[in-house]
Amino acid sequence: MSKLQLLHVEFLPTDLVEDILYVSKKYKVAGHLCPCGCRSKIITPLGHTEWKYKERNGLPTLYPSVGNWQLPCRSHYWITDGEVQWSYQWTQKQIDAGADSEKERRKDYFQRLDQKKNRPSILASLWSWIKGEDL
């Protein structure tokens, strides 16, 4: 198992150093070199529809797993408390199903946001009720 050290940055550096997970909370992104040794840059956006980031005792956790399906190495791993935990390879069918699931999750999330944004507030609903108006 590899161990990743955590480095908080504003901007991800152009040249990443092996065994460091760079995290920019300001720009909601994390980056590291692929732990398989191929030296590919792995950039993971952080947010509600992307990867989640947690820090405990100065050690980073990213979830869900990182699957580098577009790279020749096709590495698949978890980063938990700074430890790289290797996972199994996915078939192309699993990769496609995972991509479809991610698209659906993003679509649902943004639809819920739109619905929430377009819903009148409790105060507006109460005021309309008091005035006898229909919403």
Helix (H/G/I), strand (E/B), else coil: 110: helix
Q: What is the pLDDT of residues 42-73, one digit of tens each?
A: 999 999 888 999 999 999 999 999 999 899 99
> Which amino acid belongs to residue 107?
K
CA–CA distance, 15 with 56 (Å, rounded to integer): 26
> Higher confidence at residue 107 or residue 22?
22
Give the Cα separation of 106 and 33 in Å (integer): 26
Position 110 scores a pLDDT of 78
pTM (2 decimals)? 0.76
Nearest to 10 by CA among 32, 25, 30: 25
Residues 6+ apart with CB under 8 A from 5: 19, 20, 21, 82
For 85-98, the pLDDT digits (tens) are: 999 889 989 988 88
Ramachandran angles phi, psi of 45, nearest 5°: -65, 145
